[in-house]
Amino acid sequence: MKRDVIGVSACLLGLNCKYNGLHNLNFDVIDHIKGKEVVLICPEVFGGLGTPRIPSEIQADGRVLNKKGLDVSEQFKIGTLRSLDLLQAAGCNKVILKDGSPSCGYKTIYDGTFSHLKIKGMGIAASRLLEAGFEIIDLDT
Protein backbone atom coordinates (compact mmCIF):
# COMPACT_ATOMS: atom_id res chain seq x y z
CA MET A 1 0.00 0.00 0.00
CA LYS A 2 1.26 3.48 -0.87
CA ARG A 3 2.35 5.51 2.16
CA ASP A 4 0.51 8.72 2.77
CA VAL A 5 3.22 11.22 3.67
CA ILE A 6 2.28 14.84 4.24
CA GLY A 7 4.66 17.76 4.57
CA VAL A 8 3.54 20.33 7.13
CA SER A 9 4.74 23.82 8.04
CA ALA A 10 6.29 23.08 11.43
CA CYS A 11 4.70 26.08 13.16
CA LEU A 12 1.23 24.62 12.46
CA LEU A 13 2.09 21.67 14.69
CA GLY A 14 3.23 23.85 17.55
CA LEU A 15 6.95 24.24 16.93
CA ASN A 16 8.14 27.65 18.03
CA CYS A 17 9.81 28.46 14.71
CA LYS A 18 7.76 31.52 13.83
CA TYR A 19 9.66 34.82 13.39
CA ASN A 20 8.55 35.98 16.86
CA GLY A 21 9.55 32.73 18.55
CA LEU A 22 5.96 31.49 18.79
CA HIS A 23 3.90 28.96 16.80
CA ASN A 24 0.65 28.68 14.83
CA LEU A 25 -0.73 25.47 16.36
CA ASN A 26 -3.79 24.46 14.35
CA PHE A 27 -6.15 21.70 15.51
CA ASP A 28 -7.68 21.21 12.04
CA VAL A 29 -4.19 20.30 10.86
CA ILE A 30 -3.75 17.89 13.78
CA ASP A 31 -7.08 16.21 12.89
CA HIS A 32 -6.12 15.98 9.25
CA ILE A 33 -2.78 14.26 9.82
CA LYS A 34 -4.05 11.58 12.21
CA GLY A 35 -2.73 8.20 11.10
CA LYS A 36 -0.47 9.70 8.46
CA GLU A 37 3.26 10.10 8.24
CA VAL A 38 4.36 13.68 8.54
CA VAL A 39 7.49 15.57 7.54
CA LEU A 40 7.97 18.95 9.17
CA ILE A 41 9.50 21.82 7.27
CA CYS A 42 10.34 25.39 8.18
CA PRO A 43 11.93 26.95 5.12
CA GLU A 44 13.09 30.05 6.95
CA VAL A 45 14.89 28.08 9.65
CA PHE A 46 16.23 25.65 7.02
CA GLY A 47 17.66 28.69 5.23
CA GLY A 48 19.68 29.60 8.30
CA LEU A 49 17.49 32.32 9.73
CA GLY A 50 17.28 32.07 13.48
CA THR A 51 14.26 32.10 15.74
CA PRO A 52 13.22 34.64 16.74
CA ARG A 53 14.16 36.66 13.65
CA ILE A 54 13.29 39.95 12.04
CA PRO A 55 10.14 39.47 9.92
CA SER A 56 10.51 39.52 6.14
CA GLU A 57 8.21 40.30 3.24
CA ILE A 58 8.39 39.73 -0.50
CA GLN A 59 8.87 42.95 -2.43
CA ALA A 60 7.27 43.96 -5.72
CA ASP A 61 10.53 43.12 -7.51
CA GLY A 62 10.56 39.58 -6.06
CA ARG A 63 13.35 40.10 -3.53
CA VAL A 64 12.75 39.22 0.10
CA LEU A 65 13.76 41.95 2.53
CA ASN A 66 13.56 41.88 6.27
CA LYS A 67 12.04 44.77 8.16
CA LYS A 68 15.49 46.31 8.63
CA GLY A 69 16.04 46.35 4.87
CA LEU A 70 18.45 43.41 4.71
CA ASP A 71 18.09 41.25 1.59
CA VAL A 72 17.39 37.68 2.75
CA SER A 73 16.39 36.30 -0.66
CA GLU A 74 19.28 33.84 -0.66
CA GLN A 75 18.33 32.38 2.74
CA PHE A 76 14.74 31.97 1.53
CA LYS A 77 16.00 30.23 -1.61
CA ILE A 78 18.27 27.86 0.33
CA GLY A 79 15.52 27.04 2.81
CA THR A 80 13.11 26.31 -0.02
CA LEU A 81 15.56 23.93 -1.72
CA ARG A 82 16.30 22.14 1.56
CA SER A 83 12.56 21.77 2.22
CA LEU A 84 11.98 20.43 -1.27
CA ASP A 85 14.85 17.93 -0.96
CA LEU A 86 13.60 16.68 2.40
CA LEU A 87 10.01 16.27 1.21
CA GLN A 88 11.02 14.49 -1.97
CA ALA A 89 13.41 12.18 -0.11
CA ALA A 90 10.50 11.22 2.17
CA GLY A 91 8.30 10.34 -0.81
CA CYS A 92 5.90 13.13 0.00
CA ASN A 93 3.72 14.86 -2.59
CA LYS A 94 1.20 16.76 -0.45
CA VAL A 95 1.73 19.65 1.91
CA ILE A 96 -0.21 21.66 4.45
CA LEU A 97 1.27 25.13 4.65
CA LYS A 98 0.79 28.22 6.80
CA ASP A 99 -0.91 30.86 4.72
CA GLY A 100 0.23 34.48 4.82
CA SER A 101 3.92 33.68 5.26
CA PRO A 102 6.57 34.93 2.81
CA SER A 103 7.76 31.30 2.69
CA CYS A 104 4.72 29.12 3.21
CA GLY A 105 1.81 31.36 2.15
CA TYR A 106 -0.21 29.62 -0.53
CA LYS A 107 -3.09 32.08 -1.06
CA THR A 108 -1.95 35.32 0.52
CA ILE A 109 1.23 37.11 1.51
CA TYR A 110 1.95 40.50 3.02
CA ASP A 111 2.38 43.26 0.47
CA GLY A 112 6.04 44.09 1.12
CA THR A 113 5.45 47.36 2.97
CA PHE A 114 5.37 45.93 6.52
CA SER A 115 2.03 47.62 7.09
CA HIS A 116 0.01 44.46 7.84
CA LEU A 117 -1.65 44.52 4.42
CA LYS A 118 -2.22 41.16 2.74
CA ILE A 119 -2.46 40.60 -0.98
CA LYS A 120 -3.10 37.53 -3.11
CA GLY A 121 0.13 35.68 -3.69
CA MET A 122 2.38 32.81 -2.74
CA GLY A 123 5.43 32.54 -0.57
CA ILE A 124 8.81 31.50 -1.98
CA ALA A 125 8.64 27.88 -0.77
CA ALA A 126 4.94 27.40 -1.53
CA SER A 127 5.34 28.52 -5.10
CA ARG A 128 8.39 26.26 -5.65
CA LEU A 129 6.53 23.26 -4.17
CA LEU A 130 3.54 23.89 -6.41
CA GLU A 131 5.85 24.14 -9.41
CA ALA A 132 7.44 20.81 -8.38
CA GLY A 133 4.01 19.14 -8.50
CA PHE A 134 3.05 19.10 -4.81
CA GLU A 135 -0.61 19.23 -3.90
CA ILE A 136 -1.27 22.01 -1.39
CA ILE A 137 -4.05 20.94 0.98
CA ASP A 138 -6.10 24.00 1.86
CA LEU A 139 -7.20 23.89 5.51
CA ASP A 140 -7.63 27.67 5.66
CA THR A 141 -4.56 28.06 7.81
Q: How far is the CB of 81 from ligand SF4 (least distance, A)?
A: 14
CA distance 23 to 101: 12
Chain residues binding ligand SF4 by CB under 6 A are: 9-11, 17-18, 42-44, 98, 101, 103-104
Q: How far is the CB of 33 from ligand SF4 (least distance, A)?
A: 15
Q: How far is the CB of 80 from ligand SF4 (least distance, A)?
A: 10
Q: Which helix (H) or strand (E) holds 40?
A: strand 37-41
Q: Which is nearer to ligand SF4, 1 or 77 (CB)?
A: 77
Q: Which is nearer to ligand SF4, 25 or 117 (CB)?
A: 25
Burial class (CB in 10 A: 0-12, 13-18, 19+), 27: exposed
